[in-house]
Amino acid sequence: MSGLARMVSDHQANGAAPSQPTPPIRYELLTLGDELLLGLTPNGHLTFIGAQLGRHGALLQRNVTITDEAVAIAEQFRESWARADVVITTGGLGPTCDDRTREAVAAVLGQKLVFEPTIEKAISERFAAFGRKMTQNNLKQAYVFERGEVLPNANGTAPGLWVEQDGKVLVMLPGPPNELQPMFTDQVIPRLAARGLLHAGESYVQLRTAGVGESMLETRLQPIFDRFGEALSVAFCAHTGAVDCRVSSPDGRLDHAQLEAIAGECAALLGEDFVCYGHDSLARVCGDLLRRQERKLAVAETATGGLLANAFTEAGGACKFFAGGVVCYSNDAKMALLDCPECLLEQHGAASEECAVAMATGAAETLGADFALAVTGFAGAAKGVGGNPVGTIFIGLFSPGGVWAKKLSYPGPRATVKVRAVNAALDWLRRELLRLESGATTTVRRSNVMR
Amino acid sequence: MSGLARMVSDHQANGAAPSQPTPPIRYELLTLGDELLLGLTPNGHLTFIGAQLGRHGALLQRNVTITDEAVAIAEQFRESWARADVVITTGGLGPTCDDRTREAVAAVLGQKLVFEPTIEKAISERFAAFGRKMTQNNLKQAYVFERGEVLPNANGTAPGLWVEQDGKVLVMLPGPPNELQPMFTDQVIPRLAARGLLHAGESYVQLRTAGVGESMLETRLQPIFDRFGEALSVAFCAHTGAVDCRVSSPDGRLDHAQLEAIAGECAALLGEDFVCYGHDSLARVCGDLLRRQERKLAVAETATGGLLANAFTEAGGACKFFAGGVVCYSNDAKMALLDCPECLLEQHGAASEECAVAMATGAAETLGADFALAVTGFAGAAKGVGGNPVGTIFIGLFSPGGVWAKKLSYPGPRATVKVRAVNAALDWLRRELLRLESGATTTVRRSNVMR
């Protein structure tokens, strides 16, 4: 395995810079399937595997998506195998006749496929456990490379395959995400790390922020970054309503504890604009704060149509803090479910700061919650009314400290406006929860959170 | 342009089979951007462009995603240009310094980039319209190929570029989806069709079905398909809760009217299992039926957390038929908002057919709706209770004809269970609306819709 000698992490053990820069390990990903090229299924394997590799300090160099056709697979695999250090394939390992990946790849590698009785046993046991009969074509999945290893599949019939040859690594993974993803994190990452092809741990520390644009964030943090010069690498990634900042040390001069210290300094400087380390969603962070404070939340929404409520129910445990939500598309619904006064709706309209306040108050009172968020406005194709164009959103916040509303304006298509409105509401709640936790008596004013 | 002579559609004008099969036009898509390889952004361009090409009878052969680096771009473009008939690139046309795509591609084509004053004018007018000052780096976007054409960008600053050279076509598109998508459908598709590289119209007729598995669907429709032999091509695509069936005629022996007639015969055979032609969602189809019948709908949900309500609000016009929804995560919320009797909740539990009936009834009455859907159950990580494992879902339907509930069971992760539960609820409502519209007096019974 001399070809695997170019380790990415061997110079990190002593914290010293390597005498010579090692060329990066080349990773290529082949995603197979007509359904990807026909646009029927998004290429989630690229998103997942690219993010996982990045998290462990490896950059995916290339992703190629091709048809299920054997000739195309062989041709592309030959090319990628010649160029890359690690080739990962997804899909084409199943039992049906269009799954010809195994054979095409074996031919290029000059390997035979051999029947592995233990896999047949595992597959037939899996069928038996579900009370089904194994059809003959499933036996195809029991053929493995004569010089290779098997990655057991806890969630399906087709195992993954691992080959080390020509100083390179080939990883073949089954297509279903619920089979591929645990196989990748639990088996593939540790194996690649053991061979020095990526870091076993996280290669960066990520700060998640909200309420600050990317360029302003950079300006505020630059004085900290400047102290570390080229030893520190910084990357920003803007989402709708949040910006992530990743600090890493490509040449290993700064160890993980030092990166964490730098991130901690950034977080302290950012104050409330700092959301969390890592990848937790705004809703998750709000949920954790609510649970810690033993408070309940209710929501009321029009324009976001249920997405605000859903944000809290994506992770488990929402019943601990989430009282419930109301989606009120009509004034009747606002009156019936939230006790919004008819005269208020008539005077100010349903898309107004006044209505947002009434909705938040009504949601908290009806559902017996300590906090409530309300979203109303014009998200989509319908024309705005009364000088409020499409993209005008009103958010209401009810808290033990008071009740307020603010007006926001977002450009873009309906789906984007909805996500931005949800995130703005969540961020407002997060800041209010933080201030109450810190014992601050003044709560947020309209003017200083408007953006 | 002799190299463009291999037309896909020239033999379709007279409906006759071509004397010699023409090789398919090779399309390749290059998606550029580190954010795709790092898994920060899903590759939506592949999904969009692949689907658009498929709709017009062209199969994307290959998608390659590479980094923003100029050397990698030039190398990959050279390879794709040698192999393909049409190369489409996305991204890398913007004003920042990592946008080097234009230069890299021009070098491979042996073309010069020339400054186009009309583009500069359009960009500076765009900035002026938004009250902003144009920075100098924006001028980069005014450089175009000396032998090429410009695709105006109605929604951004960077125009698309079109080159015909070596008997091939190159299309370069800006990265932002709201700029790329209208440019592709309004300008690129008609241009490609005019050169015979794809069909101007839809190349297939799609039937959307619900409630039938893929293999059962094929079995039922096969007698119709058999009559047309190899002139007809059939493809199935299963989503969560729906299966699409596409009929096309690759060699042009059947024209579009004949395909429509075949699809009509399939729809008649499928009866209620046929949802619609084309790509409308189940929620959209339900919404159209409700509007036509001038009826109102309300929803109540626990496990689906707001996704059921949101399904109706994704398209415009929901206020015409959607009264509103309730997300009730606690028994208190079910009692307060839906008048669910406490004794019922205590006896049967919140995840039960009895509770689903009470929730649907409560939602219809509270919100003054004619129809109501309710979803409750165990979608996710929390353990099921009382012999109901995770994935057990109860759906309630309230209609002018009565109120019912049914129990369903879905394997898979939380997000999948939620989507399947939403689709099952929508499909039940759709069938009930169809039966009422047809004047049927018997409404659906539990047993014959259980799956």
- C-beta atoms of B414 and A314 within 8 A: yes
CB B393 within 8 A of CB B375: yes
Kindly give the pairing relationship between strand B392-399 and strand B402-409.
antiparallel
Angle at A292 between CA A290 and CA A294, to 5 degrees: 65
Kindly give the pairing relationship between strand A27-32 and strand A60-66.
parallel
* Candidate from B44, B329, B367 with C-beta closest to A319: B329
Q: At what angle do helices A331-338 and A353-367 cross, to 10 degrees?
A: 40
pTM of the model: 0.82
Distance of residue A32 Cα from the nearest chain B Cα, in angstroms: 10
Query: How many C-beta atoms lie closer than 10 Å to residue B167's C-beta?
Result: 12
Nearest CA in chain B to A65: B63
Residues from chain A that touch B317, judged by Cβ atoms under 8 A, are: 382
Q: Which residue has the tokens 């697979």?
A: A73
Q: At what angle do helices A282-293 and A414-437 cross, to 10 degrees?
A: 30
Structure tokens at B265: 């015969």
CB A280 within 8 A of CB A242: no
Instruction: Report the phi/psi class of residue B317: left, alpha or beta, with left for phi > 0 and alpha for psi in -120 to 50.
Output: left
Residues A194, A196, A202, A203: what is their CA dihedral angle, to the nearest 10 degrees? 180
* Candidate from B35, B333, B367 with C-beta closest to A324: B333
Residues from chain A that touch B28, judged by Cβ atoms under 8 A, are: none
* Candidate from A304, A317, A329 with C-beta closest to B324: A329
Residues from chain B that touch A49, judged by Cβ atoms under 8 A, are: 39
CB B377 within 8 A of CB B385: no
- C-beta atoms of B38 and A44 within 8 A: no
Disruptive mutation site among A313, A321, A345, A418 for chain B (greatest number of B CBs within 10 Å): A313
Structure tokens at A98: 């269009």
Question: Does B447 score more than 60 pLDDT?
Answer: no
pLDDT tier, A381 (very low <50, low <70, confident <90, very high otherwise): low
Q: What is the pLDDT of residue B381?
A: 56
pLDDT tier, A276 (very low <50, low <70, confident <90, very high otherwise): very high
Q: Which amino acid is at B56?
A: H
Distance of residue A201 Cα from the nearest chain B Cα, in angstroms: 17
- C-beta atoms of A307 and B312 within 8 A: no
* Candidate from B50, B309, B330 with C-beta closest to A306: B309
Residues from chain B that touch A299, judged by Cβ atoms under 8 A, are: 327
Nearest CA in chain A to B380: A316
Distance of residue B66 Cα from the nearest chain A Cα, in angstroms: 5
A414-439: pLDDT as tens digits: 888 899 999 999 999 999 999 998 87
Distance of CA B378 to the CA centre of its chain: 28
Question: Does A13 score more than 50 pLDDT?
Answer: no
CB A116 within 8 A of CB A144: yes
Task: Tell me the domains of chain A and their CATH numbers.
Answer: 2-194 (3.40.980.10), 204-277 (3.30.70.2860), 282-437 (3.90.950.20)
Question: How many residues are listed for chain A in this entry?
Answer: 451
Q: At what angle do helices B70-83 and B101-109 cross, to 10 degrees?
A: 40
- C-beta atoms of A312 and B305 within 8 A: yes
Distance of residue A367 Cα from the nearest chain B Cα, in angstroms: 6
Q: What is the pLDDT of residue B50?
A: 96
pLDDT tier, A330 (very low <50, low <70, confident <90, very high otherwise): confident
DSSP state letter for B320: G
Q: Which of A202, A281, A271, A270 is nearest to A242 (CA)?
A: A281
Q: Which of A148, A33, A43, A40 is nearest to A96 (CA)?
A: A33
B190-213: pLDDT as tens digits: 999 999 999 888 889 999 999 888
* Candidate from A237, A307, A324 with C-beta closest to B326: A324
- C-beta atoms of A381 and B316 within 8 A: yes
Query: What ipTM was assigned to the predicted interfaces of this complex?
Result: 0.80
**Alpha-carbon gap, residue A395 to B214, rounded angstroms:** 44
B53-108: pLDDT as tens digits: 999 989 899 999 998 888 999 999 999 999 999 999 998 887 765 568 899 999 99
- C-beta atoms of B61 and A381 within 8 A: no
Question: Does B124 score more than 60 pLDDT?
Answer: yes
DSSP state letter for B24: P
